[in-house]
Amino acid sequence: MTTGGLLIILSAPSGTGKSTLVKLLLQKRSDLELSISHTTRPPRSSERDGVEYHFVTAETFENMVVSGQFAEYANVYRHRYGTSNAEIARITGEHRHVVFDIDVQGAKQLMSGYPDAVSIFVLPPSLDVLENRLRGRGTETEESFRTRFACAQSETDNYINYRYTVVNDVLDDAVSDILSIIRAEELRSIRQKDVVGRLSG
């Protein structure tokens, strides 16, 4: 078990509103910090190293993989992305909670290495709502939409592998649900050893 802060994993099918949820959670609690991934992708003009990502060369990334420095990593569209154990240790060592906005594959790796992680799967209220949200983006062809929608449908089955499931119907309610989960996890007896130690002298 990590000492200090919690590891909070958030996963969801595309179009469920996960990124918006994460943004609001970070605004609600100052002790939450979003994990910054390493990537071999070249930075965009508006991106800064150490802010959006830690930008590294392919060679550096591979060396980190070989030396076991990543808690999870994946290949995405010809580039590599990963979360370092050092990043997790930095945040939790400051008694802050680290938030992961991550896909199912990455979450599986994280949960394997950190079994005490608080895993939350976010679902849409219905497939009709999910379809409307994806169509509302208006950024892709019908064929591309169908592919994305089918993928999102299949991803909903993964909820059973997570400790908690939250339905994002009303955004504020979903945020409150996640904040309640975090607070409940903070109050688990196993996390109260410092308090018990002070009471026992």
Residues in contact with 36: Cβ distance below 8 Å, sequence separation at least 6, in sequence order: 50, 51, 52, 53, 54, 87
- Asked if pLDDT for residue 1 goes beyond 50, the answer is no
Strand partners, 119: 9
Task: Specify the pLDDT at position 133.
Answer: 82
In order of their start, the domains of the chain are 7-194 (3.40.50.300)
Per-residue pLDDT of 92-110, as tens digits, reads 999 999 999 998 999 999 9
**CA–CA separation, 138 and 130 (whole Å):** 14
Helix spans in the chain (H)? 18-28, 58-66, 85-93, 104-113, 127-137, 142-155, 171-186, 193-200
Looking at residue 130, its amino acid is L
On whether the CB atoms of residues 100 and 22 are closer than 8 A, the answer is no
If 0-12 CB within 10 Å is exposed, 13-18 middle and 19+ buried, where does residue 201 land? Answer: exposed
Average pLDDT over residues 24-42: 96
Average pLDDT over residues 139-164: 86
Residues in contact with 191: Cβ distance below 8 Å, sequence separation at least 6, in sequence order: 185
Task: Specify the pLDDT at position 15.
Answer: 86
Average pLDDT over residues 46-59: 95
Strand partners, 167: 123
Give the strand order in the sheet containing 70-76.
54-55, 38-39, 79-84, 70-76
State the greatest distance between any 2 C-alpha atoms of the chain, in Å, as a whole number: 66
